[in-house]
Structure 1
Amino acid sequence: MSKSELSFLDRFAQGRALRRWSQAARMARALDLGTLRKLRSEARKLRHELDRVLHEAEGRLALPMEGNDAITAPPRSDWTWRPDLWRGPVFPQGFAAAESRTRMGHDITLFHDCKHSELTLRQIRNTREADVAPYGLRMDVFRFDGSFLSLVLDLPDQGVRGLKLNHLVRLDMIVELERPLEIFCRLNVKHGPNTEQVVRELPLGGGESFVEFDLAYTKLNEKRVEKAWVDLIFEGPQMNQIVLRDLTMSRHPRAEI
């Protein structure tokens, strides 16, 4: 069947088939046993194909929709964003023994200083009823002989354009951990030859967590902002599985005092 809408003949044939089986259901009680056996065999074959269609359709329709941009953001937000990795499929979908500077999609880059990498990265399909983002990122860390592990998130031009000192930049994440660890979030904003940095620890109590970066406490030169990125820094990540079910960012002007 093509992806286009069903033709008139297709709909006509389906209508005839439905009427035939409706009539068979009404007559089944009065049929002789030989005819009933043949009818049962046909019905079982048809049910098998229908069950296949229903299984695939119900499975796919129950998943969060790809490309979803539904983002909960503070009032007066002038920019919201969910990176591509959480919106749709990326290629390749995973890396084993991932080296430093491994890139996932357009926005995420892995950094570490391990001599022997025992890290895996994989994009996964979210399937929980509570999930909004259709995809997530899973990082498995086994033996870890390095001193740092981070994921770097490059902000798009829309998030940098018009950035001002009165902005609060917010990062929301849904994180699942196999074992407790500390996650630090560092916002970096390059303006001219200088880079402003604001660090916050992500509070982890299960479910959704967020941090806010207040640019009012920086020396940001609003006229020279060039780019911005966020470092997600994982402390003591060895022998752990880290799943980022969702990640979104937004910004809004701070309330005037």
Structure 2
Amino acid sequence: MAGIGEGWIGRALSAAVLRRWGAAARNAETEDLPRLRRQRSAARRLRQHLDRLIHVADGRLALPVLGNQTFPRPPDSDWAWRPELWCGPLPLPGISSVPSKEKLGCEVTLFHDCPRSEIALRQLRNKREANLAAYGLRLEVFRFDGSYLSLAIDLPESATHGLRRKQLIRVDTIVEMEKPLEIFARLNIRHGPNTEQIVRELPLHEDKVRVEFDLAYTKLNEKRVDRMWLDLIFDNPGMNEVILRDLTFSRRPRAEL
């Protein structure tokens, strides 16, 4: 109990209580029965509080830290980022019957062409110790009578600073699905009046769901880059639930050929 007390007096009292209960446990085999009965009652009352403390502490300490921007990234990366939705609580955590072009937070926008939306978006707290992101995003789709459904994630201005064709943009995510479907990632880079687009399918069958976009194969005008965003495109999403436990971006130089 030395960790309970505040200041040296509190720590001394906690240590004294700990020694007292240690002695009672060691002497339990020979203690007289009336005194042992009183100690048992006191120990049971104390155990209720200790069990409650341990239960709550285990739960809270196992949760990912709010605002965490720590995640695995290439050692030579010069920029890395996790969107706000996966970092901390949003003022509005969820939306039902989501119309097209509706935003959840400042960076995530849903697009679709369903005449009647049976789509829900909700931010949820990650609770597994393996999750580095504090929050995840749940997408629920019921009847789907449209031709497309996508989530657009706006990247910050820092993502375009110093952007070069000799670089790779990497996207890592953790995906859970109710039933299998295909998800495509499309990186969009606007430079002047033009927009470069690179499409990759997420390798959902692999342990690490990761895609890289090689900018060397684009016609990017490095001097005119002013915006970058990612579209996650869901193929045949009806009657399904998809949870994005994490979503991170990083940038690094590509290997010279």
User: Could you state the TM-score of these two structures normalised by the residue count of structure 1?
Assistant: 0.90
Paired amino acid for 1:175? V
Match of 2:181 in 1: 181
Number of corresponding residues: 254
SS at match of 2:227: strand
- 1:108 has 2:102 as partner: no
Q: How far does residue 67 in structure 1 lie from its aligned partner after superposition? A: 2.7
The percentage of aligned residue pairs carrying the same residue is 57
Report if the CA contact (8 A) 1:153-1:229 is conserved.
yes
Match of 2:97 in 1: 97
Match of 1:64 in 2: 64
Paired amino acid for 1:225? V
- 1:40 has 2:40 as partner: yes
Q: Which moved more, 1:220-229 or 1:22-31?
A: 22-31
Q: How far does residue 225 in structure 1 lie from its aligned partner after superposition? A: 0.9
Q: Which moved more, 1:226-235 or 1:138-147?
A: 138-147
Match of 1:146 in 2: 146
SS at match of 1:28: coil
Deviations 1:42-81 (A, max 9, x none): 1111000011111111122223333332322234211111
Structure 1: runs of 5+ lacking an equivalent: none
Paired amino acid for 1:21? W
Q: How far does residue 129 in structure 1 lie from its aligned partner after superposition? A: 4.2
Give, in whole Å, the separation in 1 of the partners of 2:26 and 2:183: 65
Q: Which moved more, 1:135-144 or 1:98-107?
A: 98-107
User: Could you state the TM-score of these two structures normalised by the residue count of structure 2?
Assistant: 0.90
Report if the CA contact (8 A) 1:175-1:208 is conserved.
no
- 1:207 has 2:239 as partner: no
Give, in whole Å, the separation in 2 of the partners of 1:177 and 1:39: 52
Report if the CA contact (8 A) 1:187-1:198 is conserved.
yes
Q: How does 1:12-51 map to 2 (within 5 A)?
A: 12-51=12-51
Give, in whole Å, the separation in 2 of the partners of 1:205 and 1:30: 62
Give, in whole Å, the separation in 1 of the partners of 2:120 and 2:81: 26
Q: How far does residue 21 in structure 1 lie from its aligned partner after superposition? A: 1.7
Give, in whole Å, the separation in 2 of the partners of 1:22 and 1:180: 55
Structure 2: runs of 5+ lacking an equivalent: none
SS at match of 2:180: coil
Match of 1:229 in 2: 229
